[in-house]
Amino acid sequence: MTTFHGTTILCVRKDGRVALGGDGQVTIGDTVMKATATKVRSLKNGRVLAGFAGSVADAITLFEKFEEKLDRYPGNLSRASVELAKDWRSDKVLRRLEAMLLLADQERSYMLSGSGELFEPDDGVLAVGSGGNYAIAAARALLPDPSKNARDIVQRSLEIAADICVFTNKYLTILELPA
């Protein structure tokens, strides 16, 4: 699996709630170009959350393509995700895009990779980006804590990733879907 440097995106499901967050650092090589980027967004009137790791321009293109799929298959995150994965895998232009997406609605969460792979987690936790492994490990450790909700877990896990990964900072954007 490709790891993109310059960000950490994390999605957590717990107790009927979904939180998706990311840091704000944009890095080119070993230079921080921007510290306050927003790499997560709400789509379809707040019913779908999406976040990206990788090239910003490529991710914006993928967001647009994904929104087209959501328009074509209203309310069906699974079908829209599968259709985008098929396009991403087979289209010559899309195949060259260097980004990964995390997508979530009230029912499902997916990671969509540049090779057209589509993953749904067993435990409701997904992460991408250079700090993704740190964030997912922290989230899985925090998940059983009854005092922490999905948002709390995303926030603390991203903070831990930022303490470890030089391509991740603590300027966080966290979005939630209600129960």
In the set 3, 7, 27, 173, the catalytic residue is: 7
**Greatest CA separation for the chain:** 47
3-state helix, strand, coil in the chain (%, to 5): 35, 30, 35
Q: How far is CA 41 from CA 44, 54, 65, 136, 141, in A?
A: 10, 15, 14, 20, 26
Tell me whether residue 8 is one of the annotated catalytic residues: no
48-54 and 26-28 beta bridge pairing: unpaired
H/E segment holding residue 158? helix 150-164
Q: Kindly list the catalytic residues.
A: 7
